[in-house]
């Protein structure tokens, strides 16, 4: 059961990543692309957390409840990393959306195929 959970989390993560990637590569709408990026990020973050999870581990917090006991803790580092990654992803998404707005104002479209002023 535990293993199934772990693998399902991995599976979800990869599914999310592929979904995001699909959106990024195939969708023509800028907003959808940004959403795809976000989904991609989420999948990655999920993967990260999943990797850091040790089965049966508790939260990696030294609370009075765990002091002195032999408890398995999950790896704290990936969680810290994921936090950073989420923040970064948030920042990127914000910038991306801002850019999408500007692009829409300028080109009056959100179709990425039509935004090709700069080429070759």
Partner 1 sequence: MVITDPVYFIALPLLTAFLLPLFGKIYKPLIGIIPGLVFAFLAYISFDLYLNLVPGKPIIIQMAGWAPPWGINLVFSEFSGLIVTLITFLAFLVWVYSYNFKKVGFDNSKKYFTLLMLMVAGSIGVVLTGDIFNMFVFLEITAIYSYGLTAFYKGRDSAEAAFKYLLLGSLSSVFILLAILLLYKQVGTLNMADIAVKAQSIDPKMKSIIAILFFVGLGIEAEMFPMNGWVPDAYSQAPGPVAASFAGMLAKSGIYALIRVFYTVLEVKGVFDLLLIMGLLTIIFAEFSAMRQKHLRRMLAYSSIGQMGLIMVAFSFNTKAGIFAGLFLMFNHAIIKTLLFLSSGFLTYSTKQKKIRDLDGFGKIMPFTSLMFGLGAFAIVGLPPFSGFWGKLNMLVATADSNLYFVIALILLVAVVEIVYYFKVIGRLYFRQQHKDVEVHNPTWNAILAMSILAIVIIGVGIYPDLITDYLTKATNELFDKAGYIHSVLPNLSLN
Partner 2 sequence: MNSLVLLILIIAGGALLSYFGHKINKILGNITVFAVALIIPIYWFTQVDFTETVSFTVSGFHMELGYNMYGKLFSMIVMILSPLALIYAIGYMKDQKKLATFYFSFLFSILGMTGILMSRDFVSLFIFWEIMTWSSYLLVIFLGKDVQKTGIKYMVFSAIGAYAMLMAIVIIYKNTGSMMLSDYFGSFAGFTLQTKLLTGILLLLGFAVKSAVMPLHVWAPGAYSNTPMAYTSVFSGALSKMGIYGLGFVVVNLFAQANLEIVGYVLAWMGAITAVLATFSAVFQHDAKKLLAYSSIAQLGYIVTGIGIGTELSIMAGLYLAVLHAAFKGVLFMVVGAVERQAGTTDMNVVSGLARKMPFTFFTALIAIIALAGIPPLGGFVGKWMLYESLINNSNFLMVIMIFLSSTAAFLYCFKFLFGLFLGQQEPEFDHVKEASPVMIIPMLLLSVFLLVTGAYPGIVFKYVAEGMTNLGFHDVNWQMSVLTNAWGDSVNVQHVYLSVVVVFVAFLIFITWRGYKHSTKISTKDISSSGEMIKPEDNMTYAMDFYKPFQRVLQPILKWKINKYYEDFGKGLEALFDFMRRIYTGNGQTYAVYVIIFLAILLIFSKSIFGY
Which residues here bind partner 2, judged by CB under 8 A?
21, 24-25, 28, 33, 112-113, 115-120
Token readout for 85 is 């990654």
Report in angstroms how near the CB of residue 4 gets to partner 2 at its nearest: 27
Nearer to partner 1, 64 or 120 (CB): 120
- Our CA angle for 30, 35, 41, nearest 5°, is 130
| Helix or strand run (H / E) with residue 5 | helix 2-26
Decide if 114 contacts 107 (C-beta within 8 A).
yes
Q: Which does 113 bind (CB under 5 to 8 A by kind): partner 1, partner 2, none?
A: partner 2
Q: Which does 19 bind (CB under 5 to 8 A by kind): partner 1, partner 2, none?
A: none
* Main-chain phi, psi angles of 60, to 5 degrees: -80, 60
Report in angstroms how near the CB of residue 19 gets to partner 1 at its nearest: 13
Q: Is 40 in the site for partner 1 (CB under 8 A)?
A: yes
């Amino acid at each position: 059961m535990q293993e199934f959970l772990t693998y399902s989390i991995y599976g979800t993560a990869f599914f999310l990543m592929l979904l995001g990637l699909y959106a990024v590569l195939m969708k023509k709408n800028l907003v959808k692309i940004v959403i795809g990026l976000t989904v991609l990020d989420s999948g990655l973050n999920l993967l990260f957390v999943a990797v850091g999870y040790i089965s049966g581990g508790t939260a990696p917090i030294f609370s009075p409840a765990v002091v002195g006991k032999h408890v398995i803790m999950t790896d704290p580092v990936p969680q810290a990393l994921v936090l950073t990654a989420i923040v970064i992803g948030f920042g990127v998404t914000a910038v991306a959306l801002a850019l999408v707005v500007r692009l829409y104002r300028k080109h009056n479209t959100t179709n990425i195929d039509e935004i090709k002023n700069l080429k070759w």
